[in-house]
């Protein structure tokens, strides 16, 4: 007789630290069985030990890794209800466009965009079965830029577009949304008063702020939300700046 798995399961990529870790911890607190996947095995094992979550090493830019990761989640949890595509290269600046090496361009596109496509591709049949949901993590840099960030910005803009494409292709069985965080302090940096003051809400964001929105978008309470990009930046992208 086949074993029955009643507890919902979530896979969080880039779950070893920052937004991914905060999201994984919150989803576990909300009742999910959570598996975190990360390319950094040392950080992943450390986080897994501290949070008592399952960890799998996975380079999301490699299809063989992604395929194996999804299979292991199914083997461990018996189902998949939620995919949080968070993994990627966080550093936005890659140097002047005239000197941007194709290898650096491809590395960011691979980790930040192709990885989300591959995860969605291999998770889709299982998410359809559970009528689950996907949340992709993009960035406000998909909407605005600073110099020398072409590869990162292109990858995150692609994530926003991939989100609505997936929402149409996988709906109505699977809902797909995107969160574009602004300035999120993922490393406990020493922040200045001016850093907080430039946000209309009066502070820099925390990983837990993003985790709360992701958890909502995965929940039944967000059942009418799909194909959308939710900007979470403390209001910064709505603020007019005159020099």
Catalytic residues: 152
Tell me the C-alpha distance between 228 and 138, whole Å. Answer: 12
Please give the distance of CA 16 from its chain centroid, rounded to a whole number: 12
Q: Are 32 and 76 in contact, with CB atoms under 8 Å apart?
A: no
Cis before 172 (ω within 30) = yes
Inter-helix orientation angle 115-130/63-77, to 10°? 30
Angle among Cα 58, 23, 18 to the nearest 5 degrees reads: 70
Residue 59 half-sphere exposure, CB side, CA atoms within 13 Å? 7
- In 3D space, the residue among 154, 185, 176, 182 whose CA is nearest the CA of residue 239 turns out to be 182
Report CA torsion sign: 162, 138, 131, 71: positive
Of 183, 195, 116, 193, nearest in space to 146 by CA: 183
Binning the chain into helix, strand and coil, the percentages to the nearest 5 are 50, 15, 35
């Amino acid at each position: 007789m086949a074993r029955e798995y009643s507890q919902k399961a979530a896979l969080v990529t880039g779950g070893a630290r920052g937004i991914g870790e905060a999201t994984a911890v919150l989803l576990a607190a909300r009742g999910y069985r959570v598996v975190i996947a990360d390319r950094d095995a040392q950080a992943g094992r450390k986080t897994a030990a501290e949070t008592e979550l399952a960890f799998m090493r996975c380079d999301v830019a490699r299809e063989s890794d992604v395929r194996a990761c999804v299979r292991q989640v199914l083997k461990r949890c018996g189902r998949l209800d939620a995919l949080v595509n968070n993994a990627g290269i966080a550093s936005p600046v890659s140097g002047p466009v005239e000197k941007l090496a194709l290898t650096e361009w491809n590395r960011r596109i691979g980790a930040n965009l192709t990885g989300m496509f591959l995860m969605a591709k291999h998770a889709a049949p299982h998410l359809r079965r559970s009528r689950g949901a996907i949340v992709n993590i993009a960035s406000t840099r998909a909407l605005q830029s600073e110099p020398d960030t072409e590869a990162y910005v292109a990858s995150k803009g692609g994530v926003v577009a991939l989100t609505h494409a997936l929402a149409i292709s996988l709906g109505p069985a699977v809902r797909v949304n995107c969160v574009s965080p602004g300035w999120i302090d993922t490393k406990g940096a020493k922040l200045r008063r001016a850093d907080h003051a430039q946000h209309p809400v009066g502070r820099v964001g925390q990983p837990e702020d993003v985790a709360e929105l992701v958890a909502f978008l995965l929940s039944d309470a967000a059942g009418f939300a799909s194909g959308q990009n939710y900007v979470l930046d403390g209001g910064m992208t709505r603020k007019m700046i005159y020099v």
